Chains A and B, each alone.
Chain A
Amino acid sequence: MSKNIGVYIYTGDGIKEAVDIDKLIEVATSEMSASVAKADDNLYSPAGIEMVKKDVETEGLNAVVIAGVSPRYEFDGFKFDGVYVEKVGMRELVVWSHKIADDDENADTKKEHVQELAEDYIRMAVTRAQKAEMPVPDKMENPSDRILVIGGGITGMTAAIEAAEAGYKAMIVEREAQLGGFAAKLRKQVPLGPDYSSLAPRVADELISKVNSNPNIEVKLATEIARIANVPGEYRVSLKDAGTKSEWDAPVPLTDEEKLDENGNELSAEDQKKKYDEKNEGRQEYTEVDPNAEVFGAVVVASGWKPYVPQEGEFERLSWGNPNVVTNVQFEELAKNGKIVRPSDGKEVKSVAFIQSPGGKDDDADFPYASHVTNLVSLKQAKYVREDYPEDGKAYIFYQHMRTPGQYEYFYKGLQDDAGIYLTKGAVTEVKDNGQGGLNVSVENTLLGDSISVDVDMVVLATGMVPTTRDEAVVNLAYRQGPAFKELELFGGYCDSNFICFPYETRRTGIYAAGGVHRSMTIEEAIEDAAGAALKAIQCLKAASEGHAVHPRTWDHDYPDFYFQRCTQCKRCTEECPFGALDDDEKGTPKPNPTRCRRCGTCMGACPERIIGFKDYNIDVIGSMIKAIEVPDDDEDKLRMVVFACENDAYPCLDMAAAKGYWWSPLVRVIPVRCLGSVNVAWIKDAMSSGMDGALLLGCRFGDDYQCHFVKGSELANRRMENVAETLNSLGMEPERVKLAQVAIDEYDKVPEIINNFVDEVMAMGPNPFKGW
């Protein structure tokens, strides 16, 4: 569709002093065929906005370009129904980042460069406005308003109650025969809030009755998830009796190793299929639909934790294996059953040592998967000893670092007043049988004196809480990429994908983690976390019905479109999607699932056939912007390079660099991209074939502490650039003409240098040999 475009150029903030505005208008109208082009000192004033609005109405504009301040700063005056608005940050990308000193002897040449830069940004913006289409949301009809909660412990019960109280239905699926999880198996618990001075009764009992009396909550006990199929908004979930096999168990794809033969060569597709079928014998294909499946809109994973159980021979120094040396969970069981007695002989337990740190003098770390929770539990259990034997019971807590953060400090303080509880820092060097049925504990470097040795009836190891997601798929997704969350080993098995700012982002849209699978947390913390996850699950249902993305592109009403006729079934998109959004058919043709998609465009970047795109962001839109850049073909001083900048980090970084007055080469043209993962090699080819001399990709850090909000974007781009390098090589071009640099949002002091060094390197290589062809 041909567009009727208006171009509006802001001339304030030094813009008109730096560039020839009349020429820009000329470029917009004569060259780029905009219907209207105007310049205004007060474009952002109410009068300026009114002017544009009037033009939209009287001229029938269906696309508007606002060339002025960075699109990141603009306030929301320029919004017109059905009109595509493209904003380009002339002030930052052209004027502030390319200041010319008054006394500069090359001022004229430099001005020429800046003018060309400004004109190119007008060309690029008008081209984008010309090519981009307005998104039409894909709204799911009647998404389910039910939320599946996996796990019936404190977290799961809370999530279900919270969702129900917000007006949604929930079903709890619990593997055990009763609700409550570990929290129901406690004698007492750490208090849930002020007052922290003493132990609190179990909150689980109260939650169980709340769940049972809520008409909007269904409970399936002794039940497990066989598979979760389909998409957010309409998950089809097959349930089965706990501990049984089902034909609907989610199939597991071959691992990379399994795809190889004994010599390390990749098996043929046929052999792989055979191996896959063997591995998944008795299971329905992941694409098959279970007619008896229950339908849900979203999922909360609250499958919790399991106790870290030391192996035989582990913690030998601590006499693990002696019946009187138990874990904190085992001790809790004893305490729950009544008065604490010694496992070996049933004798009264008058003294117990609680050990927090197994490393002796060599290492002050707590047990694996320990946390403040394990410290708090020891404090609580020490109190049990005192409850059972108030006259002469003794509890020793040996720790390297007592971790009672926040107001839990009050709980710790409350215990310090109990004369029967001995708390000391120290390295536990040995626990041994004392020959009298009890144990002897040696501790060095204590606060009570250099080293001490005490005889106790029992020893409790404050072992940690292992997230269930470490060893099990839990969600059992019938997805092409397999049943489990991806790469949780980066997070020690905890269900996470972006620790810190956005804790509910998982790598599977519609599935939100809370409680022990999220982090080691107290009951108080898990209750809060459960409410958060319930909210995210509800939002996901809303997003499905309104046809927009979920975090982090919530406002995005577009979704990727595939031109299947040209698909070669190469499987790159299905394999590279960080969110497992794409399934496929038997031939390997991808099946998009819009409600699983986060709109990062990684599939678009991956596709060698260039058949994936969005309405306002696709191969043609960006490719055309690149081609709109004017490339002088006979001027060695006017080389041209394109910079693809991640719009969340690298682009704001450039804005700040500009505002701070940093200068970068006027030879580069910046194009913001959703994620480097969306950068298709075609764009690099477009740039090189239109005579540009280089391309630089600026994206987020990758690796274990990756900063990419789409997980793998910059890392994937980096891998693809290796292929680009080969292509350039084969064309006789220097592979260094295309480069990827990692830049964090706050590195505005470094980004100009990154650009300038790149420009210098390309200048040294000289012009693109194919320039002007």
Chain B
Amino acid sequence: MSDKILVIGGGFAGLTAACEAAEMGYDVAIVEREDYLGGRVAQLNKYFPKLCPPTCGLEINFKRVRTNPKITFYTRSQVESVSGGAGDYTVKVKVNPKFTTPQCMNCKPGEEAATTEMPNSFNFGMDTRKGIYLPHPMAYPNQCVMDASVAQSDEGKTIAEAMPDGHVDLSQASETIDLNVGAIIVATGWDPYDATKMDNLCFGRYENIITNMMMERMASPSGPTEGKILRPSDNEPPKTIGFVQCAGSRDENHLSYCSYICCMATLKQITYVREQYPDAQVYVFYIDIRSPGRKYENFYSKVKADDKVKFIKGKVAEVQEGSSNNIVLVAEDTIGGGKVQQEVELAVLATGMQPTGAKVQIPGIQYDADGFVIPQEGIIPCGCAKRPIDVVSSAQSATAAALKAVQTIVRRAG
């Protein structure tokens, strides 16, 4: 029996669940696959509809983690399996080496000594990083981490020599630890749906097609373009931008469900574009604009009032390359009738959310056909591991999950 709670995933839902459970007085462990806490939210530039920076709320949650001795976390780690039952689970966690120690708090010499440049996955490969790096400027923990491939090379030794004593440890190896917990909160979140899977939308074939998550990084001051929205082909400001809604979502061949957030994300990204480029023309191809509820409907109304934004009801069926690396979006206009062809300088695919369970499933946890986690007593999904939702609903879902976890332990303790 254990009265400890495990939270799988340290994104916004996981962090919230962990803090809430710890603030109820329970010991909590977070296991996070990335090198930092904060998950997808850390990659966002702004939240809709307030247009406030996600790092603000993360900062408060990091402070809750830092100041609460009841919370421990493992980054660059994965849960390999779950066994046992409610009140008494054994969880195997693989903790991978970072090759640095907590003493390294974004010390610079390692990065300066490193030479190999590699694609920066935090920015979806739009720029590069070194083999030792701080995952992103707001990363928590604020610790440099090293790529395993670099650590095992001669470059790793050069880096190690350049770094202060005690900051680096090339001898680290991955280890598997057993955690005994009473309840498990699954907050494994989502990945952006792989845009290359939609052949007709030509992502990866034409340079000036990006995804909505790439747009977030581009618009962020810490992104590859330091916040400037630019065409990848020539780094020029785009004068026309097309948003392709339901890129994968509400589509039997890809994600059958609605990903909930992509309409609002597009409306938000339109405000990024319009703020930077007062003359830019925006086109949105959609099936329905899903901006449910008063706050979201008001936000939609505001964007709609902009005469540089044109909404076209029609799903993009085909994409071609136009002149000067422009993109031609072809859709059937379901109201006006006929085919619409719109040439744009930059196309943004509003790709949906796919639960991580669609690709990687943890033995001992149950998933539905889409990869969402099915609740069981003691195994409680929340956030986007449970259903596609926005951040506010994630926070609610995570808070509720914390209570369910506590109840599991209370019940078992009799």
Contacts and interface: CB of A to CB of B under 8 A. Distances in A.
A, B co-complexed: yes
Interface of A: 12-14, 41-42, 44-45, 69, 72-76, 162, 165-167, 194, 364-366, 369-373, 375, 399, 401-410, 413, 425, 445, 447, 464, 491-492, 494, 499-504, 519-520, 525, 528-532, 534-536, 538-539, 542, 551-552, 554-555, 648-649, 652, 656, 659-660, 700-701, 705, 707, 709, 744-749
B179 interface: no
Interface string B207-226: 00000000000001110001
Contacts of A660: 137
B60 A501 contact: yes
B391 A13 contact: no
Interface in B42-58: 45, 47, 50-57
A517 to B, nearest CB: 13
Contacts of B141: 73, 75
Contact of B23 (A399, A402, A539, A705): A539
Nearest to B58: A501
Nearest to A158: B400
Given A69-B105, A535-B399, A748-B221, A405 B290 contact: yes
B403 interface: yes
The 3 nearest A-B residue pairs measured at CB: A501-B57, A532-B399, A531-B400
A166 B290 contact: no
Contacts of B400: 162, 528-532, 535
B403 A447 contact: no
A705 B51 contact: yes
B293 A520 contact: yes
Contacts of B399: 503-504, 531-532, 535-536
Contact of A648 (B60, B256, B398): B60
Interface string B252-263: 000011111000
A422 to B, nearest CB: 15
B364 interface: no
B205 interface: no
A50 B262 CA distance: 51
Main secondary structure of the interface of A (DSSP, over half): loop
Nearest to A42: B166
In the complex, which of the residues B59, B164, B250, B300 has the most CB atoms of chain A within 10 Å of its own CB atom?
Answer: B59
Interface stretch (B65-73, B113-121, B339-347): B65-73
A402 B290 CA distance: 7
A42 B411 CA distance: 47
A372 B292 CA distance: 5
Interface size of B as a range: 35 or more
Nearest to A74: B105
Which of A76, A165, A746, A749 neighbours the largest number of chain B CB atoms within 10 Å of its CB?
A746
A41 B163 CA distance: 12
A403 B137 contact: no
Contacts of B387: 406-407
Given A44-B102, A404-B290, 19 more contacts: A42-B165, A162-B403, A166-B407, A370-B297, A406-B259, A407-B372, A409-B258, A410-B256, A410-B257, A501-B57, A525-B393, A532-B403, A542-B24, A552-B64, A555-B64, A656-B138, A659-B137, A701-B52, A749-B226
B177 interface: no
Nearest to A700: B56
Contacts of A528: 396-397, 400
Contacts of A375: 292
Contacts of B412: none
B388 A42 contact: no
A56 B232 CA distance: 57
A492 B25 contact: no
A535 B290 CA distance: 30
B313 interface: yes
A166 B222 contact: no
6 contacts: A166-B403, A166-B406, A425-B335, A525-B396, A539-B23, A652-B138
B392 A705 contact: no
Given A366-B297, A542-B25, A744 B56 contact: yes
Contact of B105 (A73, A399, A539): A73
A492 B257 contact: no
A656 B396 CA distance: 30
A554 B68 CA distance: 9
Nearest to B56: A745
Given A194-B368, A401-B290, A403-B288, A500 B391 contact: yes
Contacts of B410: 165-167
A535 B402 contact: yes
B252 to A, nearest CB: 9
A405 to B, nearest CB: 4
A464 B260 CA distance: 20
A494 B392 CA distance: 14
Contact of A499 (B60, B67, B370, B392): B392
B196 interface: no
A166 B24 CA distance: 11
Interface string B5-47: 0000000100000001001110000000000000000000101
A68 B9 CA distance: 31
B107 interface: yes
A76 B24 contact: no
B208 to A, nearest CB: 26
B403 A744 contact: no
B215 to A, nearest CB: 16
Contacts of A745: 53, 55-56, 59
A162 B407 contact: yes
Nearest to A548: B23
Interface in B356-414: 368, 370, 372, 387-389, 391-393, 395-400, 402-404, 406-407, 410-411
B119 to A, nearest CB: 21
Contacts of B105: 13, 44, 69, 73-74
A402 B47 contact: no
Among B56, B141, B291, B300, the one with the most A-chain Cβ atoms within 10 Å of its Cβ is B56
A147 to B, nearest CB: 12
A366 B298 CA distance: 11
Nearest to A555: B67
A502 B103 contact: no
Contact of B260 (A402, A406, A425, A447): A406
Nearest to A447: B334
B23 to A, nearest CB: 5
A464 B66 CA distance: 43
B293 A532 contact: no
B56 A532 contact: no
A749 B227 contact: yes
A607 B142 CA distance: 38
A76 B56 CA distance: 22
Contacts of A494: 294
A701 B53 CA distance: 11
B330 to A, nearest CB: 19
Contacts of B411: 165
Nearest to A536: B399
B57 A502 contact: yes
B39 to A, nearest CB: 13
A641 to B, nearest CB: 25
Contact of B55 (A194, A410, A746): A746
A710 to B, nearest CB: 12
Contacts of A167: 410
Residue with the greatest number of chain B CB neighbours at <10 A, chosen from A75, A494, A535, A709: A535
A362 B357 CA distance: 43
Contacts of A519: 293, 295, 392
Contacts of B334: 425, 447
B102 A75 contact: yes
Nearest to B372: A407
A76 B71 CA distance: 12
Contact of B388 (A405, A501, A552, A649): A405
Nearest to B25: A542
Contacts of A364: 304
Given A494-B294, A745-B56, A12 B107 contact: yes
Nearest to A750: B221
